[in-house]
Each structure stands twice: as structure tokens, then as C-alpha cells.
Amino acid sequence: MIPFNKLGWAFHRFGKRIYPQEVRQNLCYFLDTLPPEAKVLDVGAGTGVLCELSLACRDDLVLSAADPAEGMLQYCRESVHTVVAPAETLPFDNNSFDGVLMGEALHHFRNVDAALLEIKRILKPNGMLFIYDFNPKKFKGAFIAKSEILLGEPGNFFVPSELAEKLSSFGFQATIQQYGYRYTVHAKKGK
């Protein structure tokens, strides 16, 4: 397993570099669909890179970050409320958030279905989910997927169309934007 609890310093220093400009723009577009002072949770937040990128898009967001590695969360901005928790058991009330973010996190979850049920539970009706991940059918995506599996990670990588189908089975309507071996998903929870 990757020792995330001890690698916060590295992810804090280099994390933003792995988010290409078009993905950052797509994140801003996603956040623009949320109401003023939207409550947003970054699941599998690591050092809070998506929170920082979100604040660059909108400074009115009320941001929270959840991650099982406390050593990662210690690098989040002070303005971000942090909670040590895995995606499968989020300590928040039903219908708490307008939006949920997941950046390069889904493939680390031990139980993707349990995590998606939790995300659905904590999102408000018509709440929005943003996912950024790698396509394992593209050369670079396949390399990343195989490397993480070799390092003992769960390796729950999805082809974008398969992820859209999975999200649909949980009551989400998803749209996908592809950027070479990377992709983003905007998914809306039903009422």
C-alpha cells in the first residue's frame, strides 16, 4: 500500500501540477452550477488540492475535506473543515452538501459501491458530483492503474462509459468530458 499518511508533504508540494488547465477550467464550470455559498465536500481529499483549485474558481464556497489519512489532511488550508474518514463511512448528515468532489480518489476506495451510496446520502436533492480520474484503456492511464495495483492499492479504475453506467444505477445523471487519458464526470443526483 502507498503510505499516504507519511506522504502529505510530497502531495502538498506537487499535487496541483497533475491537474491540467482544461481540468481546472472544467472544475470551475462545474462549481458555477452550484448555489451561492454552496457546501462542498472533497472526498478522498488528500492535501486539499481540489479545495484550493475550487477557491480559485469561487471564494464563497464552504469547503470540507474527508480523507482516511490524517497526515494528508494536515496540509489543507485552515479555512477548510477537515474530517478523518474513508469514503465508505462519511460522518455527515443526510442531504448535507450541494456538491461533492473526488480528484484521483475513486480508484483508491476499498468499496466503490459503498462510497457512492454514502455520497448519494450526503448530497442534497439535485446535488452535484465531480469526479476526475484516469482512463485505464488509454496507455498512460493503464500504466498508472497497473502501477497502483502493484503498490497494493485497490485499483478501481473505470472506463468513463462504465463509470457513467455505474453512477446511473445509483440514480445519477452523468456527463463525461475526456482529456486524453484523463476524464471528468459531472453527475447530478435525482430528487
By the 8 A CB rule, do 169 and 139 touch? no
Measure the CA–CA gap between 17 and 21, rounded to whole angstroms: 10
Q: Render pLDDT for 136-186 as a digit per residue (tens, 0 to 9).
A: 999 999 988 888 888 778 889 999 999 999 999 999 999 999 999 999 999
Partners of 129 in beta bridges: 100, 187
By the 8 A CB rule, do 22 and 28 touch? no
What is the reported pTM? 0.91
By the 8 A CB rule, do 147 and 141 touch? no
CATH code, domain carrying 171: 3.40.50.150
Domain that holds residue 149: 4-189
Count structural domains, the chain.
Answer: 1
HEC secondary structure over 80-111 = CEEEECCCCCCCCCCCCEEEEEEECCHHHCCC
What's the chain's average pLDDT? 90
